[in-house]
Copies of this chain bind each other. A is one copy, B any other.
Amino acid sequence: MSIVLLARDLGLSISTVSRALNGYEDVSADTKQRVLKRAREIGYRPNPGARRLKSGKTSLVGVILPAAADGVKFVDSVASSLLGGVEVELENGGYALIATMQTRNDHEREAALYENFIKGGWVDALLLVRTRVTDARVELVRKAHIPFVTYGRTETPEPYAWVDTDNEKAFYLATLRQIEFGHRRIALLNGPLEYNFVRLREKGYSRALARQRIAPDRLLMLNGDLSEVSGYALCRSLLVSAIPPSAIVCATDAMAIGAIAACRERGIEVGKEISIVGYGNSSASAFSDPPLTTIDHAVFDNGRHIGQSLLRLIRGEVKPGDIHYLEPVVLVPRKSDCPRR
C-alpha cells in the first residue's frame, strides 16, 4: 500500500501522486517537485507486480539461451559478451534482462518454452540467439506480436529485426588470406550446419575459393561442434588423409586451438608447415603456440545494438523490418598462418 502512504503523507490523492510520478502534464510543476522529492526521501518504489498487472508491461526482456555443446554451460563465451552489451543498453531504458536456459534441444520442447514465455506474459520483448537456417522460433514469436530482435539472420520472407556479424565477409577474408599465401588445399572446420552463421561462413569460404578459381573440395569442409575437442578430432582426420590440406580456416578459436594441438601431436609445425586461422579473437587466442591469427568481431557492440533496437521496438519508434545491422569484422594477424611451403 505504498503509493497510498505517500499520497497520505503529502495530503494528495493517489491519482495525483501517480500522475506526478509519471510526469503527466495535468499536475502543476510545483506539486510534481514536491511529490518527487518526498518519494525519494521516503524511498518509494512502485510495486512492479501492480504496475505490471495494470499496464500489462513487465519491464523485462527475455532471452532463452541454448545449452552449449557440453550441455552444461549457461552461455557460451560469445553470448556472454553479447548479453553484457544488451544489458548495458537495456538498463538505460529501465528494462532488465531475464535469461532462461533451454536445457534440452528437441524442437517441441523449444516451442513450448517460447509459447510459455510469451503467452504467460513474462516479458515485453524477446531476444533470439543462435538462429538456424530455417528457424521456427521467428515465426512463432512474430505471430505472438511481441517485439523481438534476432542475433543472426535466418531464412524467412517476413521482415524481422536482426543484428549480425558479417560472418560471410569474415570467412571470405580469412580464406582469401590463405589463398594469397599460395595455399590451394584449404580446409574449413565449421560448426553444425543447422545454424545460419555456419552456412554464411561456408559461403564466404566458398566465395573466396571461387574468386580465385579454386575448385571446392567437399572433403575439406568438415563440421564439428565448435569446441577444442572437435577441432582436434577434425584436424586429426585431415592430417592422416591422403592429401592433407596446407591451410585450415576454423569456425572458432577453440577449434583452432584444438587443431593446433592435433598438428603438434603429429609433429607438424603450425605457422611454418601449416597455416591456421581462427575466429573470434578470444582472450586465449593471443597466448596459444603459435599465437593465433584470428578474426575480431565486436560482440559487445552487437549486444549494445540489440539492446537499443529492442528498446526502440518496444516504444514503437521503429518497424522490425527497419532494423538490420551488420557488424564489420577485422582480421588480426598473428603467427599461426604462413605462406605455403
- Contact digits for A22-64, partner B, Cβ 8 Å, 1 yes 0 no: 0000000000000000000001010111101100101010000
Contact with B along A78-119 (1 / 0, CB 8 A): 011111110110010000111111010000000000001001
A100 with B116: in contact, given A74-B75, A257-B287 (CB under 8 Å)? no
**Contacting residues, chain B, for A192 (C-beta < 8 A):** none
Tell me which residues across on chain B come within 8 A of A227, comparing CB atoms: 283
* Complexed CA–CA distance, A45 and B52 (Å): 16
Q: Roughly how many angstroms separate A88 CA and B81 CA in the complex, as a whole number?
A: 22
Q: Which partner residue on chain B sits nearest A232 by CB separation?
A: B287
- In the complex, the chain B residue whose C-beta lies closest to that of A54 is B49
Residues of B within 8 A of A258 (CB): 287
Which chain B residues border A286 with CB–CB below 8 Å?
228-229
User: In the assembled complex, how far is the CB of residue A225 from the closest CB belonging to chain B, in whole angstroms?
Assistant: 11
A97 touches which one: B52, B79, B100 (CB < 8 A)?
B100
Chain B residues near A257 (CB-CB < 8 A):
284, 287-288
CB pair A99 B97 closer than 8 Å: yes
Q: How far, in Å, is A154 (CB) from chain B's closest CB?
A: 23
Within 8 A of B (CB), among A207-236: 227-229, 232
With A72-B84, A99-B98, A287-B261 as known contacts, state yes or no: A50 contacts B48, CB within 8 Å.
Answer: no
Q: Whose C-beta in chain B lies nearest to the C-beta of A284?
A: B284
CB contacts under 8 Å to B, within A153-199, are none
User: Which one of A49, A74, A82, A98 has the greatest number of beta carbons of chain B within 10 Å?
Assistant: A74
Which residues on B sit within 8 Å (CB–CB) of A52?
A: 48-49, 52-53
The 8 Å CB contact of A91, one of B85, B103, B228, B229, is: B103
* Other-chain contact of A284, B85, B97, B103, B228 (Cβ < 8 Å): B228
CB-based nearest B residue for A76: B80
Q: How far is the CA of A100 from the CA of B83 in the complex (A)?
A: 10
Task: Knowing that A47-B121, A52-B53, A229-B283 touch, tell me 19 more A-B residue pairs with CB under 8 angstroms.
Answer: A45-B119, A45-B121, A49-B56, A53-B53, A70-B283, A73-B77, A74-B80, A74-B83, A87-B100, A96-B122, A97-B99, A97-B101, A228-B287, A232-B287, A254-B283, A257-B288, A261-B289, A264-B289, A284-B284
18 chain-A/chain-B pairs, Cβ below 8 angstroms: A47-B121, A49-B50, A49-B52, A72-B81, A72-B84, A72-B300, A73-B81, A74-B87, A75-B80, A76-B80, A83-B101, A84-B101, A91-B103, A96-B122, A261-B291, A284-B284, A288-B288, A288-B289
The 7 A-B pairs with the shortest beta carbon distances in the complex, nearest first, are A49-B52, A49-B53, A74-B84, A74-B83, A261-B287, A87-B101, A98-B98
Interfacial residues, chain A to chain B (CB-CB below 8 A):
43, 45, 47-50, 52-53, 56, 58, 60, 67, 70, 72-77, 79-85, 87-88, 91, 96-101, 103, 116, 119-122, 227-229, 232, 254, 257-258, 260-261, 264, 283-284, 286-289, 291, 300
